[in-house]
Amino acid sequence: MPRTAERAPILRDVDDFLACAESRPERWQFVEGRLVMMACASDPHDFLTVNTILPSGERLEGEPCLPQGPDRAVRIGRRNFYLPDASVSCRHVDGTFPSEPVLVIEVLSATTERDDRGVKWHHCQTLPSLRHYLLLNQDEPLAELFTRGAEGWIYTRHEGLEGSVPLSALGIELPVAELYADTVFPPRDEAADAAVEAPPAAAI
């Protein structure tokens, strides 16, 4: 007999999601009330994730804000539970680190870029604590930074290995060359190089 397809569980909120995800071996996110399984990361993806955590940790040593890895969750409302590739949160007076990041970092991939630029970015803007949202391209040295300003979000684009990404809310800069250390890029596609993609809208 043919196997019956497994029905997706009905999840009302993040608490339902956490109870469901606990019994599953894979890593999951909860995006607008739907289960989203996270794929295994590529080598460049892993290198970039580690390369954001280590330099930011060194520069923030002794400060109340510290970087956290991909298992640190960000809960937004009742229907969204994200696992950013990296983030930075600041310690409360009681010594605990809340899931209220000042910085969220996402390494773009074919399977995640749409959400990272779209629904996840839209929801992260609602976090009062968030000051920076950083997107890293794993196919070329390209860092895209959104910084919360007095009148909204400011977009800056950092291409090539020269220069640094300024994280003014944390008082540090991350050299692009350090972020992309040991990363091997695929051959460039001339057609893709010719296409210039507009940044995603910053307004919520």
Q: What is the pLDDT along the chain (204 residues), one digit of tens a residue?
A: 333 334 455 676 666 666 666 666 677 667 766 766 666 667 788 889 999 999 999 999 999 999 998 888 888 877 777 889 999 999 877 767 777 899 999 999 888 899 899 989 999 999 999 999 999 999 999 999 999 999 899 999 999 999 999 999 999 999 999 999 988 888 876 435 544 455 555 554
Does residue 134 lie within any of the structural domains? Answer: yes
Residue 59 DSSP one-character state: H
Please indicate, yes or no, if residue 194 is contained in any of the structural domains.
Answer: no
Assess if residue 89 is contained within a domain: yes
d(CA 55, CA 182): 14
Cα–Cα distance measured from residue 125 to residue 130, given in angstroms and rounded to the nearest whole number: 7
> Would residue 33 count as lying in a domain?
no
CA distance 95 to 114: 36
Domain assignment of residue 53, yes or no: yes
pLDDT at 6: 45
In this structure, the number of other CB atoms found within 10 A of the CB of residue 115 comes to: 18
Which strand (E) or helix (H) includes residue 53? helix 43-59
In a domain, 31, yes or no: no
Q: Which pLDDT score is estimated for 7?
A: 47
Is residue 111 situated within a structural domain? yes
Characterize the bridge pairing of strands 152-159 and 86-90.
unpaired
At 150, which CATH number? 3.90.1570.10
pTM: 0.81
Domain range enclosing 103: 41-185
Residue 182 has a pLDDT of 87
* Residue 13 belongs to a domain: no
> How buried is residue 144: exposed, middle or buried, by Cβ count under 10 Å (0-12/13-18/19+)?
buried
Q: What is the predicted pLDDT for the residue at 191?
A: 37
Number of domains forming the structure of the chain: 1
